[in-house]
Amino acid sequence: MKENKTEQIPEGIRRPLVWFGILIVAFGGFLLLYLGIVVYQVINNPEKVKIVEFVLRQVQIDDKAIFGSINNKPVEIYLSKELRTVIYVFLGVLMFSALAGIVKALISGGVKIIKVALLTTRTGESDKESNSLSSPVPDRETHPTLQNE
């Protein structure tokens, strides 16, 4: 397991790091709350959400999805309005999952900054105890009962 060495962080920088971490976590929380409100509005009243209103205006039946010619005969394929709506909803879900990933990274990054800033190192006897606990297998040279054998 990787050890964090906080003795390298000066005492004067720890407090601003903690506040910066708290700020990042709070920003991520507010962004998550906003995304939750938008999803709730899309489910209950999609016409009140501007982006959904814009996308639904862009869905037109007369747009050609694929067009060209085969043996000098024109070929045109149209997508139905429902299929276009499904495609736009799918793209919206992908965009939402990307934003949720950004929020997750903000919150976890803020928590890690706070942990690093608040982590204190042990000194003295407690440091020796932690080293002895890190290697639970007894050594013949250091274990008192095995030295007599």
Question: Across all residues in the chain, what is the average pLDDT?
Answer: 76
Q: Say which residue, 23 or 49, is predicted with more confidence.
A: 23
Cα–Cα distances in Å, from 148 out to 19, 61, 140?
55, 91, 9
State the average pLDDT over residues 140-148: 60
Cα–Cα distance for residue pair 18/81, rounded to 1 Å: 51
64-70 and 73-78 beta bridge pairing: antiparallel
pLDDT digits (tens, 9 = 90+) for 59-99: 665 667 777 888 888 888 877 777 777 777 788 888 889 99
Q: What is the model's pLDDT at position 61? A: 59
Query: Is residue 114 within 8 Å of 18, Cβ to Cβ?
Result: yes
Percent of the chain with pLDDT over 70: 71
Rounded to two decimals, what is the model's pTM?
0.59
pLDDT digits (tens, 9 = 90+) for 109-137: 999 998 888 885 433 344 444 454 555 55
What are the residue ranges of helices labelled H in the chain? 11-44, 50-58, 81-118, 125-134, 144-147
